[in-house]
């Protein structure tokens, strides 16, 4: 399948092959570049100081993620 020559402005956020019309962004969807960069940064932090990351920093990151998600869902982070 050829890609629509007009393309999508959103396509620039993924490293998908532009010659393929990729339709499955559900179970086998690719990650956007910004997500891959965030993953890389976390891996780098983990690899630099694994014990400090896992024993001291990770729970704080989980707490922040819970707060953000709770706000998005209209829920309490404790739940």
Q: Which tokens belong to 24?
A: 């499955």
**Distance between CA atoms of 32 and 38, rounded to whole angstroms?**
10
Domain carrying residue 61 = 9-73
| 1 belongs to a structural domain | no
Q: How confident is the model at residue 5 (pLDDT cuts 50, 70, 90)?
A: low
54 or 9: which leads in pLDDT: 54
Q: Is the pLDDT of residue 41 over 90?
A: yes
Q: Is the pLDDT of residue 3 over 70?
A: no
Mean confidence (pLDDT) of the chain: 89
Q: Are 36 and 44 in contact (CB under 8 A)?
A: no
| 4 belongs to a structural domain | no
Share of the chain above pLDDT 90, in %: 63
| 2 belongs to a structural domain | no
| 47 belongs to a structural domain | yes
In the chain, the number of structural domains is: 1
Question: What single-letter DSSP state applies at residue 77?
Answer: T
Q: Are 1 and 18 in contact (CB under 8 A)?
A: no
**Distance between CA atoms of 37 and 44, rounded to whole angstroms?**
10
| 29 belongs to a structural domain | yes
| 37 belongs to a structural domain | yes
Helix (H) or strand (E) holding 35: helix 33-48
């Amino acid at each position: 399948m050829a890609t629509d020559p007009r393309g999508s402005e959103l396509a620039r956020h993924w490293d998908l092959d532009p010659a393929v019309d990729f339709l499955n962004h559900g179970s086998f969807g690719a990650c956007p570049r910004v997500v891959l960069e965030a993953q890389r940064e976390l891996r780098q932090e983990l690899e630099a100081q694994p014990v400090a990351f896992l024993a001291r920093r990770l729970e704080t990151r989980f707490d922040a993620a819970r707060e953000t998600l709770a706000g998005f869902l209209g829920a309490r982070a404790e739940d």
